[in-house]
Structure 1
Amino acid sequence: MGLFSGFVKSLSKLSMIGRALMLPISLLPAAGLLLAFGDKFHLPLMMNAGGVIFDNLPMLFAIGSAVGLASESGIAALSAAVSVFVTNITIGTLLGITPEMAAQGGKYALVVGIPTLQMGVFGGLICGILAAWCYNRFHAMQLPEFLGFFSGKRFVAIATALLSFIMGLLLPYVWQHIQSGIDALSVVVNGDNQAASTFIFGLVERALIPLGLHHIWYPSFWYSFGDYTTAAGQVIHGDQTIWFKMLEEGVKSFSSDSYQDAGKFMQGEFPLMLFALPAACLAMYHEAQTANKKIAAGILFSAALTCFLTGITEPVEFTFIFVAPILYVFNAIMAGLAYMTMYLLHAHIAKSFSAGFIDYLSFGILPSFNGYQTNFISAVIVGIPMALIYYFTFRFVIRRFDVKTPDAPT
């Protein structure tokens, strides 16, 4: 009984965090559409307007989680911003990370202009949680009279800064080991059993997205593993690079003596983005409280449209991965199965920006009219059953564990 009550309490805390993130999540569909269409139609103004939101997700998640967990306190929001600044500058200075290193991506990133470790939205989330804890713990604290000016709410930001400095000193030693382990795992996964490799690739990539660690995971598969020798004798490496070179050279089968089934580490996302995650949105809408269905519709349908058209999944996934860990695990496993099944069906579909309908049309459907064996219909064959599985699984889990859908008040 004690174990069960502890589990329920943990779910309740995760649910609180998830609800707190609804505000920043609500920004993502519009930002995603701006980013995707700006990229596709070469419109820098649109692309930059959307990109600035995604580039600063750690800060937005820090502020959103702090406000949601601290009774919408502006002091907590300010403290969350302080935490992001102090934590990341401490990490960057401690490790000697330069802007040039951050610009290369992978293990490093620029967070609000500060070169630091790549921690994705998770880095912002822990800063926001720390700020909320400091607010709840110290906002009524009274200091000695000669320090009275710093008492109460003024002390919250000070305490947050001090604790963020300590966190910035400790985090790198944990995070770097995690990054190195993921890097090593990617080498092990790329073995002879390509069906197993595609499954593990898809599962791990989807599981790492909330932590921002997928930026370390996929580049080796896209740009390093495997080789293809062009007609001119040039050796090309990486699944994505090879696919586009084969398209350029007219290799209709997307296979050669040295590299088979180009696209195998990209195409598994199409059933997920085009069918499964939009179906999850429909399930969450149907489980929403009747009085708040309009709120749910606004969030979920815009997220589903963004996911379908552009392949940007954060607006959908961030609505459930923090409030329902079981759905987070389910989503990762299903992504792995999608990758493996697409490989076994001999699909060869690539993506440039992300695996939405725009890329599906550009690199799946249209090339097939010129004789390329993309087997684009595989995404439909895999996607429709996945949509049904997602729909009924989400409805069951939401009811069984009382998962809070995006319509619920924060």
Structure 2
Amino acid sequence: MYKKIVNLRIPESLGFYSGPRLVPIITLIVMSGFGLIIPFIWPPFFNLFMLIGHWISTSGPVGYFFYAVAERVTIPFGLNHLVTSVFRFTPIGGSAVIGGEEYYGTLNMFMAYVKENAVIPLDLAGKMEQGKLMIQYGLAGAACWRCIALLMLKTERLSKHCLFPGCLR
């Protein structure tokens, strides 16, 4: 889209907005139109994700295997949240009555227990983040700290400065 818009000729009175400045303006207009169309396109995809999530939650070890494969395959594209959100926010992830109100999905139930200052059941704590809390938040930082420790032995100053922000993730 950028290559088509950047060389677009517009009247001289609007010349200030020509070239690279025109790209965000046209992108805003095009994506606004796209945003109006999406609510009509998305429901079939949502229903498909719900159907797959229900199948995964009811098919035992085979479903767990396909869940793990689907999550790992979609990570490079950033679509792993489509796989996990079905369990986090829908009845497929479970339901519980907490403080007199019914909650659906692991994340909603977890937050309700925290809000009520109640004891979180172990089975819910295990399902929270699908058991990957330490992988997502702990191991990347630990690996970076280990790299920095090794670099300190070699005194490669530049590499240390590049890795340090990654540790704070």
TM-score interval, smaller chain: 0.5 to 0.7
One-letter code of the match for 1:298? F
Partner SS, residue 142 of structure 1:
coil
Give the AA of the match of 2:159.
K
Q: TM-score, normalised by structure 2?
A: 0.54
Backbone CA RMSD of aligned residues = 4.4
Q: Aligned ranges for residues 204-243 of structure 1 at < 5 Å?
A: 204=70, 207=74, 210-211=78-79, 212-213=81-82, 214-220=84-90, 221-224=92-95, 241=109
Rg (Cα) greater in structure: 2
Which amino acid counterpart does residue 148 of structure 1 have in structure 2? Answer: E
Identity of matched residues, %: 16
Partners of 2:56 and 2:66 within 8 A in 1: yes
Do structure 1's residue 189 and structure 2's residue 59 form an aligned pair?
Answer: no
Q: Residue 265 of structure 1 aligns with which residue?
A: 127
What residue number does 2:35 align with? 168
Q: Which runs of 5+ in 2 are unaligned?
A: 151-155
Q: Distance in 2 between matches of 1:161 and 1:270?
A: 36
Alignment of 1:77-96 (within 5 A): none
Give the Å deviation of 1:142. Answer: 2.5
Q: Deviations over 1:230-253 (max 9, x none)?
A: xxxxx99766749x6xx859x8xx
* Cα separation, 2, equivalents of 1:158 and 1:274: 37
Q: Which residue of 1 aligns with 2:153?
A: none
User: Judging changes above 3 Å, is the alpha-carbon distance between structure 1 residues 202 and 268 closer, same or farther for their aligned structure 2 residues?
Assistant: farther
Relative contact order, CA 8 A, sep 6+: which one is greater?
1
What are the superposed Cα offsets for residues 220-272 of structure 1, whole Å, 9 maximum, x if unpaired? 34443xx89xxxxxx99766749x6xx859x8xx6xxxxxx554422511441
Q: CA deviation at 1:279?
A: 5.2
CA distance in 2, matches of 1:302, 1:294: 13
Aligned ranges 1:261-340 → 2 under 5 Å: 263-266=125-128, 268-273=131-136, 276-278=139-141, 281=144, 292-303=158-169
The SS at the match of 2:58 is coil
Q: Is the 8 A contact 1:189 1:201 kept in 2?
A: yes
Structure-1 separation of matches of 2:106 and 2:35: 36
**Residue of 124, 128, 148 corresponding to 2:12:** 148
Alpha carbons of structure 1 residues 237 and 216: separation in structure 2 relative to 1, 3 Å: closer
Amino acid at match of 1:302: L
Q: What pairs with 1:352-371 in structure 2 (closer than 5 Å)?
A: none
Q: TM-score, normalised by structure 1?
A: 0.27
Deviation digits for residues 197-216 of structure 1, max 9, x if unmatched? 44544555674793453434
Q: How many angstroms does 1:170 deviate by?
A: 4.0
Unpaired runs of 5+ residues, structure 1, are: 1-132, 229-234, 255-260, 304-410
**1:189, 1:200 within 8 Å by CA — same for their partners in 2?**
yes
- Change in 2 beyond 3 A, CA 1:236/1:293: closer
